[in-house]
Amino acid sequence: MSKYTDKKVSEMVRELEKGVTEMFTSEEYKRYLSTMAKFYSYSINNCIMIAVQKPEASYVAGYSDWNRKFERRVKAGEKGIRIFAPIVYKVKPETAENDPKDTGENEDTEKKIAAFKPAYVYDISQTEGKELPEICHELKADVKDFEKIKTAIEDTADCPISFKNIGGSRTKGYYSLTENKIVIRDKMPEMQTIKTMIHELAHSMLHCDTEKAKSFTMNEKEVQAESIAYVVSSFLNLDTSDYSFGYVTAWSKDKELKELKENAKIIKDTSKKIIESLAQRLDLIKLPAVSKSKTMKLAM
């Protein structure tokens, strides 16, 4: 089974790359990029600050930016997410009174000092107003043997998975590093629920260690998780291609798919690990000489 799985996973990774590359040419993606360019790129420390305070956050911006750039306003009573905002202030050099070596020649020169001050941002779920463009829409289909697959994913995870109302956020689920738990938005369509569970399972397997998580950019983490979700879902005969292509494209910064290509081995190895665990729990029989449609007990 291992060799067959390895071959199929490699094929799926290539299909993923092809699908994402083609999406770059779409007009919808260009419109999406023009909007996303208005969001600031945050430092790793601020990303951690946001994740600790509101792990389900997806798009964050300052109070006035939501109104000025996106025609949205922060809802009354919403609590801001505290981050560090860089500032630069000027100071005059020490005078001769404080420094005997000072000749007085630089009395009018000011030094610029970089520092930080507390600031607040708000997630899109805390705002209301004009809708932002999307390039990946919720998966609506039902899944045969939904409960069995759901249970198999829960058994595969090394951390608890819970389902709750995440609110009006676009976020469909999240993995909390500080609490080592997965939370999935409840009452979603079955296909979206399974895909999101696999996505967050990938996060929990790859990004559960703080130091290791710091070695990846936010882009890389999301590309890794969604690529793995695509591969595993495809193996289970669940068609999430349109959603996954759009998601990965949204997180890729250039048209060379740098993140996807550089993380291909991580995607492949983790996908294989999840697939073999699910296959064992779901009693899937894979034989190289038999077609995909006849070897899966879980067919759409």
Tens-place pLDDT, residues 74-95? 999 999 999 998 887 777 766 5
pLDDT for the residue numbered 290: 29
C-alpha span between 196 and 226 (Å, rounded):
9
pLDDT for the residue numbered 52: 84
- 69, 61 contact by CB (below 8 A): yes
254 CB contacts (<8 Å, ≥6 apart)? none
**Residue 243 identity:** Y
- 226, 248 contact by CB (below 8 A): yes
Element (H, E) at 202: helix 190-206
C-alpha span between 60 and 120 (Å, rounded):
10
- 158, 206 contact by CB (below 8 A): no
DSSP annotation of 118: E
- 271, 165 contact by CB (below 8 A): no
pLDDT for the residue numbered 45: 81
Regions of the chain with pLDDT less than 50: 96-97, 285-300
**Residue 175 identity:** Y
The pair of three-digit structure tokens given for residue 59, joined into one six-digit string: 């798009």
pLDDT for the residue numbered 298: 33
Is 0.75 topped by the overall pTM?
no
pLDDT for the residue numbered 64: 95
